[in-house]
């Protein structure tokens, strides 16, 4: 069963936690008509891995890292499949980054790689949207990756026990054209190694989200672009870019 979070209240925010009385859980195949789909998890933090595919590191002019590069996106950046990505006025270069998302199922700290899969609830699709010009300008990545709407997630979670992990491919399409198509087998650091590395210094809570890195092929989008992150076996995350309203 592909699990979802949803609300029958159209005004429920995508950042609503499970404590919100309007938030419900169910099966993607049984989403009630008219329901508002929410991100499938409610993380206390979104932990991201940079340059986890050698060819992606190369296309941005970087060497492959010797250990995982970790950064955070704020939960305020979450949106669901179907929601709009807002192109901020502060940026002149907005990029898509399709990624495999890992949702944590149990609190964990100092986990060994051999045991890491026991802490995985399941898998989802992530678009790790980036204001590339601001990322390069600032030198650190918080602003360039932290705007509201910069973390589309969904549409659902595929439970770990139902996943054929080795078959996963991360495909990103922009206006119907394939821009990224990479196998998770090409990751420099496996999901288990990533969990072990993160939990060596940070506690992961149930519902926390790990974005495991993007394959090569990242590129810019414009207002009006439709972005789909398609991981066969998991689902399709679809969002349209809109220009930020003038303030």
Burial environment of residue 52 by CB neighbours within 10 A (0 to 12, 13 to 18, 19 or more): buried
Is the distance from CB of 197 to CB of 188 less than 8 angstroms? no
Where residue 59 falls among pLDDT bands split at 50, 70, 90?
confident
Domain 42-243 has CATH 3.40.50.850: no
Q: Residue 194: which of 61, 35, 71 has the closest Cα? A: 71
Contacts of 33 (CB under 8 A, 6+ apart): none
* Alpha-carbon gap, residue 238 to 242, rounded angstroms: 13
Where residue 55 falls among pLDDT bands split at 50, 70, 90?
confident
Tell me if residue 225 falls in helix, strand or coil. coil
What is the layout of strands, in order, in the sheet containing 169-174? 84-87, 235-243, 226-231, 169-174, 177-183
Q: What is the mean pLDDT of residues 159-169?
A: 97
Q: What is the pLDDT of residue 119?
A: 98
Taken as a whole, the chain contains a residue count of 247
Q: What is the pTM of this model?
A: 0.97
Q: What is the pLDDT of residue 229?
A: 98
* Alpha-carbon gap, residue 49 to 65, rounded angstroms: 11
Is the distance from CB of 36 to CB of 6 less than 8 angstroms? yes
* Alpha-carbon gap, residue 17 to 44, rounded angstroms: 9
* Alpha-carbon gap, residue 100 to 118, rounded angstroms: 18
Whether 82 has a pLDDT exceeding 80, the answer reads yes
Per the omega criterion (within 30 degrees of 0), is the bond before 155 cis? yes
Q: What is the pLDDT of residue 61?
A: 85
Is the distance from CB of 95 to CB of 69 less than 8 angstroms? no
Q: What is the mean pLDDT of residues 59-87?
A: 95
Answer positive or negative: Cα dihedral of 246, 136, 197, 203.
negative
Tokens at 93, concatenated: 């270069």
Mean of the per-residue pLDDT values of the chain: 97
Q: What is the mean pLDDT of residues 145-166?
A: 98
Model pLDDT for residues 23-50, shown as the tens digit of each residue: 999 999 999 999 999 999 999 999 999 9
Is the distance from CB of 222 to CB of 241 less than 8 angstroms? yes
Model pLDDT for residues 204-223, shown as the tens digit of each residue: 999 999 999 999 999 999 99
Burial environment of residue 222 by CB neighbours within 10 A (0 to 12, 13 to 18, 19 or more): exposed
* Alpha-carbon gap, residue 109 to 14, rounded angstroms: 28
Model pLDDT for residues 122-155, shown as the tens digit of each residue: 999 999 999 999 999 999 999 999 999 999 999 9
Q: What is the pLDDT of residue 247?
A: 77
* Alpha-carbon gap, residue 10 to 19, rounded angstroms: 17
Q: How many CA atoms lie within 13 A of 68 on its CB side?
A: 25
Give me the residue spans of the domains in the chain: 42-243
């Amino acid at each position: 069963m592909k699990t979802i979070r949803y609300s029958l209240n159209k005004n429920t925010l995508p950042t609503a936690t499970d404590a919100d009385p309007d938030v419900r859980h169910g099966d993607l195949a049984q989403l009630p008509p008219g329901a508002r789909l929410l991100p499938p998890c409610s993380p206390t933090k979104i932990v991201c891995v940079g340059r986890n595919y050698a060819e992606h590191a190369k296309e941005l002019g970087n060497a492959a890292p010797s250990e995982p590069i970790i950064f955070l996106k704020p939960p305020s950046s979450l949106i669901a499949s179907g929601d709009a990505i807002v192109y901020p006025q502060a940026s002149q270069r907005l990029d898509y980054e399709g990624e495999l998302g890992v949702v944590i199922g149990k609190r964990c700290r100092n986990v060994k790689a051999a045991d890491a899969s026991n802490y995985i609830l399941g898998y989802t699709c992530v678009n790790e949207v980036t204001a590339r010009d601001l990322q390069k300008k600032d030198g650190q990545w918080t602003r360039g990756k932290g705007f509201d709407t910069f973390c589309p997630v969904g549409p659902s979670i595929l439970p770990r026990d139902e996943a054929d992990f080795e078959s996963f491919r991360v495909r990103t399409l922009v206006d119907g054209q394939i821009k990224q198509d990479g196998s998770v087998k090409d990751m420099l650091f496996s999901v288990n190694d990533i969990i072990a590395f993160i939990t060596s210094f940070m506690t992961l809570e149930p519902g926390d989200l790990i974005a495991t890195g993007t394959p090569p092929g990242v590129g810019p989008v414009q207002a009006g672009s439709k972005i789909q992150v398609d991981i066969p076996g998991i689902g399709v995350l679809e969002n349209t870019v809109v220009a930020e309203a003038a303030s």
